Each structure stands twice: as structure tokens, then as C-alpha cells.
Structure 1
Amino acid sequence: MLTPTLRVLFVLIAFLLTYIHSNELTFELPDNAKECFNEKIKVGSKFVLEFQVVTGGNYDVDLELKSPSGKILYQVTKKQYDQIEKTAEEDGVYEFCFSNEFSTFTHKVIYIDWRVDGDPEHEITGPNPRVAEGALTMIESKVGNIHRNLESCIDYQTHHRLREATGRARAEDLQERVQLWSIGQFVLIIIVAIGTVLLLRSFFTDRRTSSSASWSR
């Protein structure tokens, strides 16, 4: 049988874990393409959209955020990273679209983090267990601190993985460019060497021809 304090602890943990509705996604956006996502949000809810172009081209993408009525809430072009924080003023489906239509041959890999805070659909309702007010406050503060620390750790690890993936992609692209440049230099050296040999050979051939003609006279 759980004590009232433990029951409150479990309720608070569940409350904190469900209070913030978060979706993380990494997807590939082809060249000359557009990808849209939809989310139903209630009035008064705060939402945060964070995105980053991990790989592809110049690491940039277009973004457009629309309200349920079709009003453009945010629009940016050729952006590598950004974070948008808004409060829902309308009840309905919000849409945000990523566009790579300006690129004709380079696809992009994009990471997005969509968080909704304070949405009534994700809140826990019902009577609270009977515990002392001082104990409830202490438990709330401790669980809140744990939750914030865990969120900070998760965000740090996520951004560290994104930076590592971006750095690896840049390194692989640089390695490919260096290899192509080295191959081009090697081919150029071979061509110059062959041309030099042929040029020197032509000099000796002309001398041999002129000497044989003088002896015949």
C-alpha cells in the first residue's frame, strides 16, 4: 500500500511528464520539395518550434507558420537554425511548412522539436490526495527541479548529437572535395609529364631528321 506522500510523488511526476507535449523528428526534405506538419492547439497554450538543418547544401531552409485561419504567424527564408515561441490566439489546427524549393539538386536533413505547454488536453484533473501542505510544497519543488534538470540534460544531449552530425557531414563533404582536388591534381601532373616527354621527343626527332638530310647531300 502506497503512503500518501508516495502517491503525491507519482501524481506529480506523471503531471510533469504529461504537461509538456513534445514531438521530435528528423526527416529528409528532397530538393525542390515542400513538407508540412499540423498540430491541434487550444487557445492560450504556449508552443515552441525549434528546427535545425543538419546536412545538405548550404544548411538552409525556408519556414512558414500559419494559424488555423490561414494567417502567417512566422516566415523566414534560407535559415539554418531558429526557435519560435508563440501563444495560441486561436483554437484549431496550426500548420508549419518547410520548403526546399529554391534548391534544384540538394536535399536537406532537418531536425524539428515541437513543444506545447499548458494544453488542457495534457493536464491531469481530479482530486489531489490528502497530504500536508508543507510536504506537498517540498515534493513539488524537488520534482520540479528534477524535471528541469532532466529536460536540460535531454536538450544538451540532443544539441550535442546535432552538432556532431553536422560536423561529421561537413568533414565528409570536405574529405570528398579534397579527394576530387587530389585526383584532379594527379591527372594534371600526368598530363604535364606526358606533354613534357612528347615535347622533348619532338626536339630530338627534328635534330635527327636534319642530320640525316645533311649526310645524304
Structure 2
Amino acid sequence: MQFLALFAGLLALFVSTVSSTALTYKLQANEKSCFFTWVDNKGAKIAFYFAVQSGGSFDVDYEVVGPNERVVMDGQKERQGDFVFTANDVGEYRFCFNNEMSTFAEKTVDFEIAVENEQRAQLPSKQGTTPEQTSSLEESILKLSSQLSTINRNQKYFRTRENRNFSTVRSTERRIFNFSIIESVMMVTMAGLQVFIVRFFFQGARKGYV
């Protein structure tokens, strides 16, 4: 029973230290949009993930700006990114997506911002629990957390691929439909032109015969 309580307490320590925000945003053409998060502790870890799900060539410009307008990282025409960096300053961090390069295509961007606000606390000593058991349990929790993070990243990757492939299929369907319409119009036009030429030929022949 004490082992289960210790396991639950350790799991709570790992979960409660991280705050995150996952959003989906539709970025209009010629639009720049920014999202903000506040960091209370110097040295906190910030995880930033984004992926363009649809629109244009599935790319976007991004920029991460820290306090005092210091650029932490940026990139141009990126399809997706997964970064972890250390917040060296306390204050507001700005995460911006820029679609000003596109004149007509809107883009759907999935992104997540996670901030580890606190240092991980030390486990309280329990009677009947040896340091070896505590260390082994902590290592198991870390492995479990790493595996869950890997699964989460894989799910995001497959979701992104599915959305992009679906968008490609829809774009191909539209092109095939438009091509079929153009082909049908051309066939009707050619048929009408042939009828007009044949009628003009026979009318000219009748006049010459008379």
C-alpha cells in the first residue's frame, strides 16, 4: 500500500510541474499571429511544437521572442518543428506564425507550448522504503514518461501526415474535376465547330452547284 502511495505521489510530482497549451489555429493569407506564455522561473524548460496541417505548400514562418525582444529562434518556410530550450530570462515569451508570404492560401497550424515551471521536488523519505527502491521507482517513472512522450510525438506525426495526405487527395480531386469540365467544354466546342464547318462547306457547295 505504501508502494502504491509512493508511486502516485511521484507521478503527481512529474505531472504537476508542467503546464502546457495545445491549440489549432487557422492562419489567414498575409496574416501574422502571436501567442504568449509567461515564465516565472529562470532556467525553466520550454517545449515548442508546431505542424502545418493544411494550406499552400504546408509551410510557415515562425519566430520565438523572449523578454527584452530577444529572438530565441526563428525559421522560414518550415513545415513543422519540435524544440526544447531553456528560458534564461523571467517574463513573457512570444510565439509567432507568419503567413505574409502567401497572397491567397490560408493555413491550419497545430501547435503546443509546454513550460516546466518548477524544479522537481525530492521524494519524502518513507518508513520501510529503501533509497534503492525509491531510485528504481523514479527511474521507472522517467522511462514511462519518456515512452508516453514518444507515443504522443508519433501520434502528432501520423496526424500531420494524415491531414496532409487528405489535403493532397482533395486538391487532386479538384484538379481532376476541373480538368474534366474543361475537357467536356472543349469536346462540345469542337463538335459544334465541326458541325458549323460541315454546314458551311455544304452550303458553299450548293451555291456553287446552282
TM-score w.r.t. structure 1 length? 0.88
Q: Which residue does 2:112 correspond to in 1?
A: 113
| 1:1-217 mapped onto 2 (5 Å cutoff) | 3-41=1-39, 42-117=41-116, 119-120=117-118, 123=120, 127-130=124-127, 131-212=129-210
Instruction: Check the 8 A contact 2:24/2:109 in 1, yes or no.
Output: yes
**Runs of at least 5 residues in structure 2 that lack an aligned partner in the other structure:** none
Instruction: Check the 8 A contact 2:63/2:95 in 1, yes or no.
Output: yes
Instruction: Check the 8 A contact 1:7/1:129 in 2, yes or no.
Output: no
**2:172 aligned partner, one-letter code:** L
Instruction: Check the 8 A contact 1:48/1:84 in 2, yes or no.
Output: yes
Q: Percent of aligned positions with the same letter in both sequences?
A: 26
Instruction: Give 1:20 shift.
Output: 3.4
**2:188 aligned partner, one-letter code:** I
Q: Which residue does 1:215 correspond to in 2?
A: none
**Runs of at least 5 residues in structure 1 that lack an aligned partner in the other structure:** 213-217
Instruction: Check the 8 A contact 2:62/2:95 in 1, yes or no.
Output: yes
Q: Which 10-residue stretch deviates more, 67-76 or 19-28?
A: 19-28
Cα deviation digits, residues 26-47 of structure 1 (max 9, x gap): 1111112111111112211122
| Separation of aligned partners in 2, 1:79 and 1:54 | 12
TM-score w.r.t. structure 2 length? 0.91
Which of 1 and 2 has greater Rg? 1
Aligned-pair RMSD on alpha carbons?
1.8
Distance change >3 Å, CA 128–CA 167, structure 1 → 2: farther
| Separation of aligned partners in 1, 2:75 and 2:134 | 45
- The 3-state SS of whatever aligns with 2:68 is coil
Report the number of matched residues.
Answer: 208
| Separation of aligned partners in 1, 2:123 and 2:154 | 34
| Separation of aligned partners in 1, 2:83 and 2:48 | 5
Instruction: Check the 8 A contact 2:10/2:123 in 1, yes or no.
Output: no
**1:107 aligned partner, one-letter code:** E
| Separation of aligned partners in 1, 2:172 and 2:148 | 36
| Separation of aligned partners in 2, 1:39 and 1:111 | 16
Distance change >3 Å, CA 127–CA 133, structure 1 → 2: closer
- The 3-state SS of whatever aligns with 2:103 is coil
Instruction: Give 1:197 shift.
Output: 1.3
Instruction: Check the 8 A contact 2:52/2:160 in 1, yes or no.
Output: no
**2:71 aligned partner, one-letter code:** I
Cα deviation digits, residues 43-73 of structure 1 (max 9, x gap): 1112221211110112121111111111112
Distance change >3 Å, CA 141–CA 43, structure 1 → 2: same
